[in-house]
Amino acid sequence: MAVERPNILILFTDMQRADTVHALGNPVIRTPHLDRLASEGTAFTNCLSPSPVCVPARCCLHYGLYPQKTGLFDNGTMMPDNDASYPALLGRQGYRTHAVGKCHFTPDRLARRGFQSRETQEECVADPAQDDYVAWLIRRGFDAYEPHGARGEMYYVPQISPLPAEAHPSQWIGDASQRFIQRAARGRRPWCLFSSFIHPHPPFAPPKPWHKLYRAPGMPLPHAPANSAALQTWINRLQNRYKYRDRGIDLNLLRQMKAYYYASISFVDFQVGRILETLEATGQLDRTLILFVSDHGELLGDFNCFGKRSMHDASVRVPLIVRQPGRYPAGGRCRTAVSLVDVYPSLLAAAGGIEPPAGGLDGVDLATLARRRATGRVVFSQFSQGPTGIYLAASA
């Protein structure tokens, strides 16, 4: 008898640090649903982004290759348009594949890159023909608002979302994900859903009343040792100028920034809980591989820096949790160095050992690492802009 292939659910956030899950050591943040995943699955506590910037990191996950092979090193380059992506390969093997939210297939906002269908929610889009979420907002009379928060000089100023919680970008992702799961439950094909949240990417703009979840005076200050300036690279200094300010550090602003960053994550966590409830209600929870991960982190004032594009832990290390009963130990903690390039081969292994595309993949099956500690494994990260770059090789 053939083994039933699992459904696949990838829960993806943008710019979420590894130290923002309560169950993994953060006593301040409230993430009950991520905590549940960590108790029922395996948390990989040393997961490094292969590139601490949005498009290159996402491309590495999508194709299972490091930047040296994808050719993407910053946000301005288009992803490869071929049939070697994981959704394309899963689709050829009978999976129903769908993406909800931010894919960042820049500059082609409507590209599918192997997905059979998409519901789009990208950044800085005003044309409803280019974005399903914008079209949805306009139909409900919210076209006068900046749905992802005010940018420009307000980019790193914590702010309350101009939208009510029920129209917030994270809520829309949760709603769309629930609808897909409910529809897919009526079919016979296994499915793969990529649910991608824009948040907690700045502007840090949680909706009411979630903005009250954390009080700024009680928030811990960033890690900023006395020699922080000596640890900054050229790109850190450049980002500081346009993402924060030229002179001075405002401790009250830093605390408020972290409070709204955490609130944005807690609101995403709430959506994760709603999605898990839908899986349970449709009888699909234990038949679904659930993988939660982010593209890269956020410096958030550590070393007096802001943004990404850095090899400091806050920027390059991300949370990674996988739940699949029988393959990933419940409550497991894996300290082996892993990467987003390991996601693709892990999906193929879970789907019955599908052969990788010609040319192979750079990663390994995470389930094998979850069951036994690997020694000497090295993972890589790089960011390049023109002739200049920063690089990292790490092991654990």
Model pLDDT for residues 265-283, shown as the tens digit of each residue: 999 999 999 999 999 999 9
Average pLDDT for the chain: 92
Model pLDDT for residues 190-226, shown as the tens digit of each residue: 999 999 999 999 999 999 999 999 999 999 999 999 9
Burial classification of residue 267, based on how many CB atoms lie within 10 Å of its CB (0-12 exposed, 13-18 middle, 19 or more buried): buried
pLDDT in the model for residue 68: 92
pLDDT in the model for residue 139: 95
Q: Answer for the pair 52, 310: CB distance below 8 angstroms, yes or no.
A: yes
pLDDT for 1 beyond 50: no
Q: What is the mean pLDDT of residues 53-69?
A: 95
Which range scores top for mean pLDDT: 97-106, 232-241, 356-365? 356-365
pLDDT for 246 beyond 60: no
**Which structural domains are found in the chain, ordered by start?**
7-395 (3.40.720.10)
Give the distance between the most distant pair of CA atoms in the chain.
67
CA 302 – CA 281 distance, rounded (Å): 42
pLDDT for 80 beyond 80: no
Q: How confident is the model at residue 376 (pLDDT cuts 50, 70, 90)?
A: confident
Q: Answer for the pair 116, 195: CB distance below 8 angstroms, yes or no.
A: no
Q: Alpha-carbon torsion 304, 307, 312, 317, what sign? A: positive
* E strands, the chain, in order: 7-14, 42-44, 47-48, 96-101, 117-120, 191-200, 288-294, 317-318, 320-323, 332-334, 338-339, 378-385, 388-395
Q: How confident is the model at residue 242 (pLDDT cuts 50, 70, 90)?
A: low
Model pLDDT for residues 85-125, shown as the tens digit of each residue: 999 999 999 999 999 999 888 767 777 788 999 999 988 88
Q: Answer for the pair 173, 148: CB distance below 8 angstroms, yes or no.
A: no
